[in-house]
Amino acid sequence: MKIHAVICTRSSDLTRTTQELLDTLSSFGVETKVMVNQSSIFDAYKKGLTKCNAAGNDIVVFCHDDIELLDSKAEFIAKLAVCVNPKVGIVGPAGTTLLGRDAVWWDHQRWQAGLHSGAVYHRDKAGTTYPTEYGPHRQVVALDGLFLAARKDVWEAVGLSKPEFFEGKWDFYDIYYTTRAHSLGYENQTIPLQIIHHSAGELVGRDSWFLNKSAFINRMELPIQC
């Protein structure tokens, strides 16, 4: 089992966090491609999947450039090994068992109802690391895009091109990819990866996010549940 990773950035100037992520992945034996100066995350991941030259049963990770991996090499590899199961689709640290009619996976009412899954770590200004816990790890329909992993053949089945009904080039790719995998009969799962996300989700407020969300809602039959 080989593991590859594709990281997309908007510029060629890598931050310290990104460089440390690359160093960690290298120490884990992960073959990584950094797609710099990109204008679309859909195009970057599609090109990256080709450039990484993975076999069909190899695992390919698509992740943000602002994350920090806390697991050891052995833990990281063991947790991703679930992807070897042919029934498994896309895995990641956090998601939901029910994507509602608003298509917002982290909806707080559904969170309080126990429908979400997984955990993501953050770090406050004082340097304290704390988890945002969503719920027990299990099968889900949709996953957060900070870290997504699947076999190459799963990604090929899902299709990485931006759907024509999306106007924005950076938004809602995670919901689109993971719900599509679910619709194809794969079992998406959250797994207990320990990941610090150095972002609070500020980009959710941009216009293209709302445009793609609206387009997704208009095209899909919601809710989707497992």
Q: Which two tokens stand for residue 169?
A: 């080039």
For residue 63, which of 99, 104, 92, 28 has the smallest C-alpha distance?
A: 92
Q: Which two tokens stand for residue 48?
A: 């990256």
Residue ranges per structural domain of the chain: 3-225
What is the rounded CA–CA span in Å between residue 105 and residue 115?
Answer: 10
Q: What is the pLDDT of residue 216?
A: 95
What is the rounded CA–CA span in Å between residue 153 and residue 67?
Answer: 25
What is the rounded CA–CA span in Å between residue 226 and residue 217?
Answer: 18
Angstrom distances, CA of residue 24 to CA of 18, 33, 101, 132, 169: 10, 14, 38, 23, 28
Q: What is the pLDDT of residue 208?
A: 83
Q: What is the pLDDT of residue 200?
A: 59
Q: What is the pLDDT of residue 207?
A: 74
Q: What is the pLDDT of residue 188?
A: 98
3-class DSSP assignment, residue 1: coil
Quick check: pTM over 0.85?
yes
The type of residue at 11 is: S
Q: What is the pLDDT of residue 123?
A: 86
What is the rounded CA–CA span in Å between residue 170 and residue 40?
Answer: 6
Q: What is the pLDDT of residue 206?
A: 65
Tell me the CATH number of domain 3-225, given options 3.90.1580.10, 1.10.1200.10, 3.90.550.10, 3.40.470.10.
Answer: 3.90.550.10
Q: Which two tokens stand for residue 36?
A: 């710099």
**For residue 22, what are the β-bridge partners?**
none
What is the rounded CA–CA span in Å between residue 188 and residue 91?
Answer: 6
Which residues in 170-192 are b (16+ Cβ under 10 Å) and which e? bbbbbbbbbbbbbeeebbbbbbe
What is the rounded CA–CA span in Å between residue 58 and residue 127?
Answer: 36
What is the rounded CA–CA span in Å between residue 162 and residue 171?
Answer: 10
With a CB cutoff of 8 Å and minimum separation 6, the contacts of 43 are: 162, 169
In tens digits, the chain (226 residues) has pLDDT values of 899 999 998 878 899 999 999 999 999 999 999 999 998 999 999 999 999 989 999 999 999 999 999 999 999 999 999 999 999 999 999 999 999 999 999 999 999 999 999 999 998 888 888 999 999 999 999 999 999 999 999 999 999 999 999 998 999 999 999 999 999 999 999 999 999 998 755 554 567 888 999 999 999 999 999 9
**For residue 7, what are the β-bridge partners?**
34, 63
